[in-house]
Structure 1
Amino acid sequence: MSTASGDPTTGTAGSSASPVTDLPSTEEWTSGQEQEVATAHTGTEPTGAVEAIGAEEQPVPREQAPAAALPYRPVSGRYRGTGGSFQLELRVDVDSIRSGSKVLRRLSGDFFSTSGGTTAYFGSFVVHSPTVTTSATQIVVRGLGTFTWQAGAPVVQVTVPRRRTDQSPGAATVQFLTTSGQAGANYVCPYVSPYFRVVQWEQDSVTGKIPFLSYNTGALPRPPGSPARVLNVPGAYTDAGIQMLVTGGANVIADSSNGWTDSELHGAMQTNFSLWRNVPQWKVWLLVASGYEGLSGVRGIMFDAADSFQRQGCAVFYDLIKGTDPESQRAQLRTYVHELGHAFNLLHSWQKNLARPPAPLGPRGGFGDLSWMNYPQNYQSSSGTSGTAAYWGDFPFQFTDNELIHLRHGFYRDVIMGANPFATGAADIDPELFDEPLVDESGLRLGLRGTRSGFAFGEPVVVELKLETTDLRGRTAHGHLHPDDGLVNIAIRQPSGRTVLYRPLRLRCVDHDETVRLDTTRPAIYSSAYIGYGRDGHYFQQPGTYQLRASYQGADGSRIVSPVLSVTVRHPVSATDERLAELMMGEEQGKLLVLRGSDSPSLRSGNDALQEIVERHAQHPFAVYARMVKGLNAEHEFKSLSPDRTGLTVRAPDTKSAIEQLSPVVKVSEQGKGVDNLTLGMATRRLARAYARQGDMEEAGATLDRLVRHFDTPAFKPHVVEAVRAQAESTRARLMSDFGPG
């Protein structure tokens, strides 16, 4: 809610509002508003970009059919009016605006305060269960609203005259009343559009990657009663009542064969998204990139979740979803709609109860949702079928009702791009969400342990996750054990007693079926995760004892919960320790630890702090983390778009710097004084690649040999040693192929 005083429901005047930036996009209030004002006079949608995604039919001329013989036009849609110093954007959802469109029987609206030449967002409301009274001349919708402020007149009554299809839509009269029936403010809102919200979508692609166009839903089996039609991404949102205006002039930008990192994607958005500003606006960018660097199987990502203006950018990765056959086209449609859904602040189907406020899960813990936001391979039907084939056999190409409520009627700042953070910001959760199940017959066990017995204040908190089978016959499970993949969650009870959820900076969508068999030959899989920093900032901001618990969401819907892990963060014992903690605990340093380094100008001060640790505190234990971040970043190229948005600048790997930084990281960690063993394996393989890049294949091989010897001791279980050996040999083969002689 803005700083404006007064109550738009009672008509009380207040002081002028402070101009802020969280208002509808400039285009919607200027050129877009002019276009929609014309629409309000004619009752038709503007032509042009809208026609490409299915504009509303034009009114039937009077001479073709008498008015009395024509049906009534729907009253649902968007209306806009003013009263005093407030503007009201009203959404009426009581009858079908087009064939097949769901009716949610709701009212909602957003208020904006005006002062001079400025407009500022004030607040929102929704009426979830109104009464609807229909007569021959009008429709009256009335109910008690839920507001983002303490409304003085919380009862909302909307009256819309009924018009025939050859007539222009009538204006909605909005009356606010107190609970005792006393009249409050009154607004007359002319009709604007049959769409509840309008979003501008800009899509760019890298060289050689062809963006998805459309899919014929009749090309493959579909649910009975689901019509065969040619469906594209804007059409999927049209079904939801959202107008997706495709901006012209899509750019084709240079690509790199090594894939794209999170920081490179964010930099590309800031450079190449022509509509981008760090303000809330109904605008979103999607990049069709080649691949994602660092993790196989990622088909898409909503990468803009690390700053104060989130959800403005997402990407799909062409190399994993390409294809012209119907199955590939269908999967591409789902991936595009899914990633854009995250930009609207929609969570995965099985994660909605972790939102703030929590939303109810659908059937089978959310895996039974027939939604764009579910993973096909995780789907579980009420009839007992499951998996990808069952999903597509049941899926009618739509969002669930609860998702439609959010898209159409969610509070303004919860939906508009660039406003409330993904999953709505506040991190508090109900601790009971992580209680142990009363019955557990999953055959799986989840372990959680700290990589240290205690962490110094400011030290990166890293935990190790272990999923093992308890069934001697073996069990099959999905292999997505890292919390960034969205199928493992970690709750943190802080020393204050507050329980928060670790929320990763990025939302990787690994919607492919990666299964592992856990049995006597391979009883467990492992992952390590830095959980010290996420979307809510630093989670371990004070010394004390923290209680951690992890939850693994199995592919069959099972929820396996780890035992509680106690983690101690020690008090600093010297002035140097306090200074090092300050250097490690900045927001930018947290992002650099998550991203494993970046050249982004927006993280320059964080890089400077890490450089100070390396230069002035080289013997301090924290130096190993600063060196690792700088070494990993140096070993990898960094891509950035040129200011003219046509070229790609690639900073080549700095192998000398990478070796200088990573060598002591590996040496100290082998002695048990540095990073955890899983991170050691990663850092060692990257060090070997640095040697290979500069032509020293002998030292690259020796580095990998030392890695295997480090683990090939009785301290590690045989299946762990074999996994390390396999990783080393796979890395050796790739290095020989990429950098070897010949």
Structure 2
Amino acid sequence: MVRTPANASATADFAWFWRTDFPGAKAFGGIDMRKGTYRGSVGSTAIEMRLDWDAARQSLVFSGDANSPQTSIYFIGSSTPVRQNPGGDFSSTVSVLQDRVWRDGFAQLSFDQSRQTCKIRILVLGYQVLLGTCRFQYSTLRKLSVTIFAEEQVATDGQVRTHLWPRYSDTQAVRSSFEASDVGLEFLYGAPLQRPAGQTIGWRTSELDDLLRSLARVGGFASAPNPNYILMSVGQHESHGMIGLMFDESDGFPRQGCAIFADHPYLNPPSETARRLRNTWAISHEIGHCLNLLHTFDPASGDAQRERSMSWMNYPYIYDGLYGNRSGDFWSRFDHCFREHEALFLQHGSLLDLFAGGRAFGGSRTTFPSGAAIFESANGRDDLDGKIALDPLEDHELADPVYVRFSLPPILVQQGASVESGAIAIMISSPDGSVRRFKPSSTECYRPTPVKEAHASEYRLHFIGSGGHGHYFLNPGVYKICILGKTSDGVSVASNIQSLKVLPSSKTNHEIDFLLSRPAQRTLEYGDVCGTDSLDDFKERITSLQSAPARVALLLAVGLTLQRDQNKFDALGARVFVQPAAPQKSIAALDQALSNIARNLKRFQKSAFPAMVAQTKNLQLCGETERARKLVECIRLARSEKWSEVTGAILQARKVTQPLVQ
């Protein structure tokens, strides 16, 4: 919940401008300056302020952000008018978040109706922390855009199937649901998506993640923070049970896009009314995740109604399956709006918490509680037969892939509970006593299997080495792990607590560096490669990856890491140095990457240049100066942006290095 000052109503000093009967309240061509978004700047600090006047309650909620390269400030206040002030100024207590610390302060707002501006001044402990003037922008509290990219399939008769594009009526219904929360939403349309020829299985999560990153870079979305999102509408996921997917970690820019699987049976019922409702829900639900809204049944969401919540962020089929409910009850009772606390967050949450490229999913500092208290609730509970059972964990060396194996009780299996949906929380206590909740790099929305035996438990294997919040096991020591969940009737379920001892690594430094690299960790998390414990084993499994971009990324990571004589890996202050260099292994890895790039240059052209530069360094390290000189000529051709000739340059580069890898 967004924090509001407890004593705000007792200390407010409102201007006559806020009187509901004031005849000039709607001046300037019908603009009501009591409600809307203001923007301004002071030096390098950009300011955005949001005002929301509630005539029925005679109250005002205001919030804002002041972001600069050095610091960020978030503030929020609310009050009820108590008296008129002919001076036209407004003052109130305000809560200020700066440097991760909440402080109570005092805000003064001064309006200039002729210029449509508002001057804001905030004091904390007598010191001025913000002073600037903002100009009125628009009457909604947020403005967002979503660009749709849809898969187009070529049928056996040669006809292109375009049924996966969301219908206009569906997107209009989504717009209306967001407008009810004072959030303006604009849908734009991008290019069609086509899978490589011969791909008949459903989409893989890693494949969609690579596609999202490519679309974000090409479309200029990869900047932080920004209010522009990507929606991919594709056929089916390889699991055949997934309806939607939101990517929290993609090239370091959280929550910049999502996907819906439009061929899923749940989104294609016989009734047109049911089809429209379900597709509107799927789109609204995934965009809500992009805006940092959790599932209502996630313990961190703060929604007391959980599975019974009437919100876009609930699952309709879970609600209908609750005791006392019948099929269709969710839609007959739902008002097609976000709940009040969700709407308040959408309207007044921090820009960094909402916008793409801001804070990671569930990492909002203004809405989500710490995981420490949740972990403590499971302390000492090690004999919970019939609940969540966590298998013992063997000792690990630093950089070994970390998996946990656990079984869920039948009631959670029936609910379709999973770590990716947020219904199951894996809590990790570090050697220093800090507690973090494991956050996967994607949030998944499943339709549970309709038929489950009442007595059936289910074992699952889950990678937890890294996720949306980075690495979890970077330092040697003893970690504690437990798993938490809640049933649909609110009963808490906890596993036993297991210890994981992380030992100093006996691997070479370049193996550690590679295994901790983001491409390697993401591949492990998405399940493309499992059970590997060495660099050579990892490289052998690369060839079996379904996703060509992931394969190239891993080969490049190997080659770029091994060719350096001193490569620094810095995460949370831990440095690993790659020494000595291994140019022969690097040449082999980069040669294979160049082979993949040459076969599909249009897709991988940006990867060609760093691979060729690294090969040049390798040849110099090996004393092959003539071959290095020839490769430099190839690089010059590539840098000339004559991309029609780059394929030839890459093939020539391979000829230069091939004798060294045979």
Assess same fold via TM > 0.5.
yes
1:423 aligns to what SS in structure 2? Answer: coil
The answer to whether 1:297 aligns with 2:241 is: yes
Provide the residue aligned with 1:146 in structure 2.
Answer: 96
Where do 1:645-684 residues align within 5 Å? none
Give 2:206's aligned amino acid: S
Instruction: Give the 3 Å change call, closer, same or farther, for CA 291–139 of structure 1 in structure 2.
Output: farther
Indicate if the aligned counterparts of 2:48 and 2:66 stay in contact, CA closer than 8 A: yes
Instruction: Give the 3 Å change call, closer, same or farther, for CA 340–121 of structure 1 in structure 2.
Output: farther
Provide the residue aligned with 1:52 in structure 2.
Answer: none
Give 1:378's aligned amino acid: I
The answer to whether 1:204 aligns with 2:149 is: yes
CA–CA separation in structure 2 for the residues paired with 1:151 and 1:557: 31
Indicate if the aligned counterparts of 1:214 and 1:333 stay in contact, CA closer than 8 A: no
Where do 1:86-235 residues align within 5 Å? 86-95=45-54, 105-112=60-67, 122-133=71-82, 135=84, 140=90, 142-149=92-99, 154-160=105-111, 170-177=116-123, 187-207=132-152, 208-213=162-167, 232-235=173-176
Instruction: Give the 3 Å change call, closer, same or farther, for CA 241–443 of structure 1 in structure 2.
Output: farther
Cα root mean square deviation, aligned: 4.3
Provide the residue aligned with 2:624 in structure 1.
Answer: none
1:258 is matched with which residue: 189, 201, 214?
201
CA–CA separation in structure 2 for the residues paired with 1:124 and 1:43: 31
Residues 603-612 or 259-268, more deviating? 603-612
Where do 1:386-405 residues align within 5 Å? 386=325, 389-405=328-344
Provide the residue aligned with 2:360 in structure 1.
Answer: 421
Give 2:394's aligned amino acid: S
Instruction: Give the 3 Å change call, closer, same or farther, for CA 253–384 of structure 1 in structure 2.
Output: closer
CA–CA separation in structure 2 for the residues paired with 1:499 and 1:112: 29
CA–CA separation in structure 1 for the residues paired with 2:329 and 2:453: 22
Give 2:317's aligned amino acid: Q
Q: CA deviation at 1:43?
A: 4.8
* TM-score, normalised by the number of residues in structure 1: 0.60
Instruction: Give the 3 Å change call, closer, same or farther, for CA 184–605 of structure 1 in structure 2.
Output: closer
Instruction: Give the 3 Å change call, closer, same or farther, for CA 128–387 of structure 1 in structure 2.
Output: farther
Instruction: Give the 3 Å change call, closer, same or farther, for CA 496–287 of structure 1 in structure 2.
Output: same
Give 2:93's aligned amino acid: G
Give 1:266's aligned amino acid: D
Give 1:288's aligned amino acid: S
Give 1:143's aligned amino acid: T
Indicate if the aligned counterparts of 1:477 and 1:517 stay in contact, CA closer than 8 A: no
Q: CA deviation at 1:610?
A: 11
Provide the residue aligned with 1:430 in structure 2.
Answer: 372
CA–CA separation in structure 1 for the residues paired with 2:299 and 2:475: 29
Instruction: Give the 3 Å change call, closer, same or farther, for CA 316–154 of structure 1 in structure 2.
Output: same
CA–CA separation in structure 1 for the residues paired with 2:466 and 2:353: 23
Residues 296-305 or 552-561, more deviating? 552-561
Identity of matched residues, %: 20
Give 2:414's aligned amino acid: H
Provide the residue aligned with 2:22 in structure 1.
Answer: none
1:465 is matched with which residue: 400, 406, 425?
406
Gaps of 5+ in 1: 1-40, 45-58, 60-71, 114-119, 163-167, 217-229, 354-358, 470-474, 613-629, 646-742
Indicate if the aligned counterparts of 2:76 and 2:95 stay in contact, CA closer than 8 A: yes
Q: Could you give the per-residue CA deviations for residues 92-117 of structure 1, whole angstroms, max 9, x where no partner exists?
A: 01236xxxx9998421112255xxxx
The answer to whether 1:310 aligns with 2:259 is: no
Provide the residue aligned with 1:343 in structure 2.
Answer: 290
The answer to whether 1:448 aligns with 2:395 is: no
Instruction: Give the 3 Å change call, closer, same or farther, for CA 84–588 of structure 1 in structure 2.
Output: closer
Instruction: Give the 3 Å change call, closer, same or farther, for CA 152–535 of structure 1 in structure 2.
Output: closer
Q: Could you give the per-residue CA deviations for residues 200-241 of structure 1, whole angstroms, max 9, x where no partner exists?
A: 22111111333333669xxxxxxxxxxxxx952222222221
Q: CA deviation at 1:199?
A: 1.6
Q: CA deviation at 1:329?
A: 1.1
Q: CA deviation at 1:126?
A: 2.5
The answer to whether 1:367 aligns with 2:307 is: yes
CA–CA separation in structure 2 for the residues paired with 1:580 and 1:155: 54
CA–CA separation in structure 1 for the residues paired with 2:379 and 2:340: 28
CA–CA separation in structure 2 for the residues paired with 1:352 and 1:591: 26
Residues 259-268 or 385-394, more deviating? 385-394
Give 1:158's aligned amino acid: L
CA–CA separation in structure 1 for the residues paired with 2:328 and 2:600: 40
Provide the residue aligned with 1:591 in structure 2.
Answer: 522
Q: Could you give the per-residue CA deviations for residues 10-34 of structure 1, whole angstroms, max 9, x where no partner exists?
A: xxxxxxxxxxxxxxxxxxxxxxxxx
Give 2:181's aligned amino acid: A
CA–CA separation in structure 2 for the residues paired with 1:542 and 1:193: 49
Give 2:333's aligned amino acid: D
Give 2:109's aligned amino acid: V
Instruction: Give the 3 Å change call, closer, same or farther, for CA 183–500 of structure 1 in structure 2.
Output: closer
Give 1:568's aligned amino acid: K
Indicate if the aligned counterparts of 2:399 and 2:512 stay in contact, CA closer than 8 A: yes
Give 2:176's aligned amino acid: G
CA–CA separation in structure 1 for the residues paired with 2:256 and 2:467: 18
The answer to whether 1:569 aligns with 2:502 is: yes
1:508 aligns to what SS in structure 2? Answer: strand
Q: CA deviation at 1:76?
A: 0.8
CA–CA separation in structure 1 for the residues paired with 2:356 and 2:287: 10
Instruction: Give the 3 Å change call, closer, same or farther, for CA 570–413 of structure 1 in structure 2.
Output: same
Give 2:486's aligned amino acid: Q
Give 2:309's aligned amino acid: D
2:482 is matched with which residue: 549, 554, 575?
549
Indicate if the aligned counterparts of 2:227 and 2:356 stay in contact, CA closer than 8 A: yes
Aligned residues: 506
The answer to whether 1:286 aligns with 2:231 is: yes
Q: CA deviation at 1:579?
A: 5.7
Where do 1:554-633 residues align within 5 Å? 554-572=487-505, 574=506, 576=507, 580-595=511-526, 596=528, 597=545, 598-600=547-549, 601-606=552-557
Instruction: Give the 3 Å change call, closer, same or farther, for CA 557–215 of structure 1 in structure 2.
Output: farther
Indicate if the aligned counterparts of 2:233 and 2:262 stay in contact, CA closer than 8 A: yes
Where do 1:13-24 residues align within 5 Å? none
Residues 410-419 or 251-260, more deviating? 251-260
Give 1:309's aligned amino acid: F
Provide the residue aligned with 1:491 in structure 2.
Answer: 427
Q: CA deviation at 1:157?
A: 2.6
Indicate if the aligned counterparts of 2:412 and 2:487 stay in contact, CA closer than 8 A: no
Gaps of 5+ in 2: 1-25, 153-161, 529-544, 564-588, 605-662
Give 2:49's aligned amino acid: L
Q: Could you give the per-residue CA deviations for residues 391-435 of structure 1, whole angstroms, max 9, x where no partner exists?
A: 223321111222222212112211111121222289962144462
Q: Could you give the per-residue CA deviations for residues 696-722 of structure 1, whole angstroms, max 9, x where no partner exists?
A: xxxxxxxxxxxxxxxxxxxxxxxxxxx
